[in-house]
Structure 1
Amino acid sequence: MAVYNVHERLLPAKHSEVGALIDTLSSSNDALWPRAEWPPMEFDRPLSVGAVGGHKPIRYTVAAYVPATWVRFTFTGPRGFHGFHEFAVLDVDEDHTLLRHTVAMKTRGMARLTWPLAIGPLHNACLEDSLDRAELACTGTVAHPAHWGPYVRLLLSLLQKPRKTEPLQAAAR
C-alpha cells in the first residue's frame, strides 16, 4: 500500500525562525517535537546525516539535512515501512513560512494493517501537536489547537503500560 501523508502549517514568521525549529529536533531544547505527549525523537548523536534513532517503534536514519531548511529521515523500522518522512521549511513571502511534514512510503506485510489502524492515526495526532508547538514558538499562541479524537485516545490508552499495584496481601495490611 502506498502512503502519502502531509501535514503543514502556515506560520506568520520568517524562514530563519521556522527553520531554527528543525535544527532543535532531538536536542535537549527541542522546540518542534511534542516530547511531553509522545515518545521523544532521539538519535545516537546530534541531528546530522547518518544519525540513527527514531521515536519508540518508529526507527529511522537521517538521510539528508540542510540546516534551517529541510531534514529527511529514511525508515528502518518497523518492518514493512519502506520510504521516508521529512520536515521542510518553505518560503511563502517575506513574513510567512510554510512548515510541512511529509511521509512517503510503501507498506508491506503487517504494516499494511498497522499503518491505517493504529500508527497512521497516532502519527496524525503527533504531527498536529508538533505543528501546534511550531505555531506557539513562532507566535506565542495557537489559534486552533489540535485535539485528540476518541479513537486516538483509545489507542493511547491501550499503549500505556499498566500501573504497578500493590499485591493484595500488602494492600490488606
Structure 2
Amino acid sequence: MTTTLDSPPPLPEPQHATCPAIRPRLRRMAYEPGPGASAAVATIPAPRPPQPEPAGPSAAELGEAHRTITRILRLALEVLDHRRPSAQLAGHVTASVLRYWRTAAQQRTVRSPARFARMRLCLPQPGVAEVAVACSIDGRVRAVAARFERADSAGTGWRCTALRLG
C-alpha cells in the first residue's frame, strides 16, 4: 500500500537569534499486528512453466507446398497472358476462381508477359496455405493474393480456393 503525502508546511522562522529553527524528526515505524491477528506476508506466485509453442510446418512440408503452389501460380499467369488455355488451370482451382481468372484474362490486353517478382507463403493451419505474390504485369507491379487448401485427405495436392488480382 502506498500513501502519498502533501509537501510539508514551511518551517517557521526562529524567534530569537539563539534559538534554531524547529526541524521535524522522522522515525522509522514497523508494522506489528495487534493481539490475535497474524502478520500479513506477501507471497510471490511461483513462475509458470513456459507453454510449448504449437509445432509449425516441417521444412519438407513447407518446401513441397512452395513448389506446388509456385507451379500453379505460374500456370495461372500463363493463362492470364493467353499463352495457355484456361482449361489447363481447371484441375487446380475451384469453379469460382476459374470464372474470376477467365474474366481477368479476357479484360486484359497483353503488352508484355507477366512475371513473378516475389512470393510470400504462410501455412496458418494444417492443410491451408495463404500466398501473396508481387508480379510484373504489363510493366506495372501488381499483387496476387491466393488461398490454397489440400485437395485430398492424403495431402498430395493443393487446390486454389480464392484468388484476387490487385
Answer yes or no: same fold by TM over 0.5.
Answer: no
Q: Name the one with the larger helix percent.
A: 1
Q: Name the one with the larger strand percent.
A: 1
Q: TM-score, normalised by structure 2?
A: 0.25
Higher relative contact order (Cα pairs below 8 Å, separated by 6+ residues)? 1
Q: TM-score, normalised by structure 1?
A: 0.24
